[in-house]
Amino acid sequence: MKNFLLFLLLIGICSCKPNPSKEVSEEFVKGVYGNPGTLLKAGYSFDSLGMNAVFVRSVSLNREFYETSKVQGAKVFVEFPTLNGKEYLIDHPGAWPIDEKGEKSPPADWFMGICPTHPGFKEYRSMQLREMLKEYQVDGVFLDYVHWHAQFETPEPILPETCFCDRCTGAFGASLNKVIPGETIPQKAKWILENADPEWRSWRVEILNGWVEDMGKILKSQQPTAKLGVFHCAWYPADYDSALYRTMGLDPVALAERADVLSPMLFHHMKGRPTSWVGEYVAWLGQTLGPERLSKTQIWPIVQSHNNPGIVSPEEFRRVMIEGSKAPSSGIMMFSDQSLVEDPKKIKVMKDLFAKERPQ
């Protein structure tokens, strides 16, 4: 009997111990994307606005901003312009994305992408990431411009076919264990699009997945607890003739398998969508990922306050903030800081919403 009572006592003690496998509930993330330092310069403080996170462009990150953010209780997440190649192409024309005609693909509005298989560019970005991580202990890095050369932040997207440089067609041929027929780039491109289109699209997706994996390895090797996030185009699979997969080279499920956070870019005004689309897309993404993946990968949408094109009213801004905060979202950020500074009514909207546990 004595041994039995001792056994019951041990069971009671063990049952009181915390379960290390049980996930700890995280605070809902409430942030601003861009150069949040403009809010500080305007006389605001992050904690007084209810913010607990800042999402700062890497070019705007500096020691003073970093220290101030930490003092004011804001986590620091840094945007990393992964495949934005505009500056690099000035001195490295061999990294220019080539279209099916064998020509340099022109800028897509304000954006200029790059050939993702260019080894020099990948090393260039890898070095930049390592240097930044040596300088700052961040809460996370969010990869931006993770797509093949294109423009989606407009009502009418620009969707060129790229990249058919000899490096890309050679690597694609190697993946097929085949030499791509043709003597010129247009001939090779024609053969690929007519005879191996599904394989070509899949190969392009895997190239981007490789970028996410490689940048993630760098981040986790230097700062294991930092989150890896990905900003991505928020289209449904069938939109624009399946351009998310076919042209942009994006598979949201594959991204979620490699990232801690997905941040769909839900810029409703830029894309001519109703405010309800924001909540609908968050729900769709959650359903697409499924419960098991959502237990590992979070969704933190980025919504639009920025007045371009036209004007986003304070009430419209309030609605997209609420829509983007609906489950399964576990965080929200808005673009941009400048739009808040220019309109005190939007500041009030954000402050009132961020005063709640979840904007609603």
Cis geometry, peptide bond prior to residue 309 (ω within 30 degrees of 0): yes
Question: Per the domain annotation, does 8 fall within a domain?
Answer: no
Judged by DSSP in three states, 287 sits in: helix
pLDDT on residue 25: 59
Residue 26 binned pLDDT confidence (cut-offs 50, 70, 90): confident
The Cα–Cα gap between 199 and 355 comes to: 49
Instruction: Kindly tell me if the per-residue pLDDT of 148 is higher than 90.
Output: yes
DSSP one-letter code for 170:
H
Residues 6+ apart with CB under 8 A from 133: 141, 218, 219, 222, 223
Question: Per the domain annotation, does 4 fall within a domain?
Answer: no
Question: Per the domain annotation, does 32 fall within a domain?
Answer: yes
% of the chain surpassing 70 pLDDT = 93
Q: What is the pLDDT of residues 232-272, one digit of tens each?
A: 999 999 999 999 999 999 999 999 999 999 999 999 999 99
Instruction: Kindly tell me if the per-residue pLDDT of 127 is higher than 70.
Output: yes
pLDDT on residue 154: 83
pLDDT on residue 10: 38
Q: What is the pLDDT of residues 321-360, one digit of tens each?
A: 999 999 999 999 999 999 999 999 999 999 999 999 999 8
Average pLDDT for 208-224: 98
pLDDT on residue 23: 42
Question: Per the domain annotation, does 156 fall within a domain?
Answer: yes
Residue 5 binned pLDDT confidence (cut-offs 50, 70, 90): very low
The range of the structural domain enclosing residue 208 comes to 26-354
Average pLDDT for 141-152: 98
Query: Are the CB atoms for 36 and 53 separated by under 8 Å?
Result: no
Instruction: Kindly tell me if the per-residue pLDDT of 126 is higher than 80.
Output: yes
pLDDT on residue 188: 98
Instruction: Kindly tell me if the per-residue pLDDT of 174 is higher than 70.
Output: yes
Average pLDDT for 110-116: 97
Residue 155 binned pLDDT confidence (cut-offs 50, 70, 90): confident
Question: Per the domain annotation, does 61 fall within a domain?
Answer: yes
Instruction: Give me the chain's average pLDDT, please.
Output: 93
Question: Per the domain annotation, does 11 fall within a domain?
Answer: no
pLDDT on residue 20: 37
pLDDT on residue 360: 86
pLDDT on residue 4: 37
Cis geometry, peptide bond prior to residue 336 (ω within 30 degrees of 0): yes
CATH for 189:
3.20.20.80
Question: Per the domain annotation, does 71 fall within a domain?
Answer: yes
The Cα–Cα gap between 12 and 5 comes to: 11
Question: Per the domain annotation, does 20 fall within a domain?
Answer: no
Instruction: Kindly tell me if the per-residue pLDDT of 18 is higher than 90.
Output: no
Give the residue from 236, 314, 349, 335 showing the smallest Cα distance to 282: 236
The Cα–Cα gap between 19 and 136 comes to: 32
Count up the domains in the chain and report the number: 1
Cis geometry, peptide bond prior to residue 107 (ω within 30 degrees of 0): no
Q: Which stretch of 4-8, 119-123, 146-150, 349-353 has the lowest confidence by average pLDDT?
A: 4-8
Instruction: State the pTM of this model.
Output: 0.92
